[in-house]
Structure 1
């Protein structure tokens, strides 16, 4: 076990535990949708979510926090947080209906993730946590753009569910701050 390099608050600890599980929801859902529909956007973003989990795990390790997605919670669709497990199951049910429904669920999830991450950033005083969460916010913006772009190629305009229209428009119209930039286009 790593020796914590900084003290963190209980709020920071809870946020990291929740965020690790939220990243796993995304990874598990996108992997399942990739297996079902075989389109690049799900494959590319599920790989990205794996990297996000590694970043959050590094923080968990640095602060001596047990990984909430290991052991009996390592299996796809299994979560310590019952609410996240219900959300995952609901997403799978909806995503299984059609590729369009899967893309809408994905966009909705990325919106929720952005909202949650921003709230976590505002509540922490820890710069290492803040830096990692800001990186995840940028990545989630890229993912949101990719899902919205894939919906648009199918003639569907996505309406934001969790973000204000103004915040959503700002994310969609930006070019992205990291690789990806929403260019995971439909290929099946």
Structure 2
């Protein structure tokens, strides 16, 4: 508080003869006025803050129930309300049941312009939602956006996964930058929505550049907890966002053709065969990589079984090492009998994953059903990571793998990622 302002207030209360009046006061009155004048700056500052005249930093715009009015169509507004025309792309990501998870879906909405990615995540939880772009091996290298909403408090952070199975750490704690330019959210009726904007290429070493029109491999997860450091406990999976396709929102589930049903049964058996083979190869080589990938294949199997359950389909029975498809049966037996030593075993595993990538891409091509695209896209992202992992492990032991099904260009894109 300036001395000029103090003199004016003194004059206001005591008039032109204020000094004489003040001197005539008793000790207690003088003490009260001195205390009042000392507190007056705090009172005035508080009033200014409450009136909105002073600019404040906020965590992000948060849509409360009363503010849930859709924005003008076509305009992006991070208020937690997904309005008509706000996004041009949509994907339904299915989190499988089982393996300790109840399962759940994550809906992803997006659009891009020349410089920015605009995205919304919607999931059934009162905890956090997360999406990670371009994981390299397992989760490692994933460029993560994670957020939650609690009342008027929205938090969305830019994080990075530093190791194969985590943890994800805020970029700023790794000497990077938080590149979420705008964000907001809404939690209502047990459903949380977060929206955010970031640059396609932030220039931060802990972020991945995103190219409009290309397929975007992701990992994602949902937690019941609002603590962003707590592990996911509702759902988690891999996925693929087709940034080049425009699908603004959910669509009705169409019945599958006979060819699609046959393809689904084959993919399920192929994933089961891969799991069984890796478990057997672990027994003979004791390489932990086989056990890790076998566990990942269990998640892939659970994803397909969840998809089949939702479509009212029955899963065929299984027995380890026994498959209805004769081709898969022969591949299993030949690779297992010929896997003499770690190098040969890793080469056999790479062959299985290369075939899996090819077969999944074949099923995705021409598919229009969002649930099929979601599950098969996630499996393909996982299979590409498995292929990358096996080839690198093979090369570390002096081995070499040459693609047998994929083109050299496609193989290099996956492995030299």
Instruction: Bin the TM-score by the shorter chain.
Output: 0.7 to 0.9
Corresponding residue pairs, total? 165
Q: CA deviation at 1:108?
A: 0.8
1:16 pairs with 2:260: no
Q: 1:49 aligns with which of 288, 297, 303?
A: 297
Q: 1:84 aligns with which of 303, 328, 333?
A: 328
Runs of 4+ residues deviating >6 angstroms: none
Point out the structure with the larger helix share. Answer: 1
**Is the 8 Å Cα contact of residues 8 and 63 (structure 1) preserved in structure 2?**
no
Please give the alpha-carbon distance, in whole angstroms, between the structure 2 residues aligned to 1:36 and 1:155: 19
Q: CA deviation at 1:157?
A: 2.0
Determine helix, strand or coil for the equivalent of 1:34. Answer: helix
**Is the 8 Å Cα contact of residues 308 and 315 (structure 2) preserved in structure 1?**
yes
Structure 2 regions of 5+ residues with no counterpart?
Answer: 1-252
Which structure has more relative contact order (CA 8 Å, sep 6+)? It is 1
**Is the 8 Å Cα contact of residues 13 and 65 (structure 1) preserved in structure 2?**
no
Deviations 1:55-108 (CA, angstroms, capped at 9, x unpaired): 01111112222212x2xxx2210112122111111111112x221111101101
**Is the 8 Å Cα contact of residues 37 and 99 (structure 1) preserved in structure 2?**
yes
1:134 pairs with 2:405: no
Aligned residue for 1:30?
278
Structure 1 regions of 5+ residues with no counterpart?
Answer: 175-188
Q: 53-62 or 123-132: which moved more? A: 123-132
Q: 2:314 aligns with which of 49, 55, 66?
A: 66
Q: 2:338 aligns with which of 87, 90, 94?
A: 94
Point out the structure with the larger strand share. Answer: 2
Please give the alpha-carbon distance, in whole angstroms, between the structure 2 residues aligned to 1:92 and 1:140: 19
Please give the alpha-carbon distance, in whole angstroms, between the structure 2 residues aligned to 1:156 and 1:55: 33
1:149 pairs with 2:383: no
Q: Which has the larger radius of gyration?
A: 2
What is the RMSD of the two structures over their aligned residues, measured on CA atoms? 1.1
Q: CA deviation at 1:167?
A: 0.2
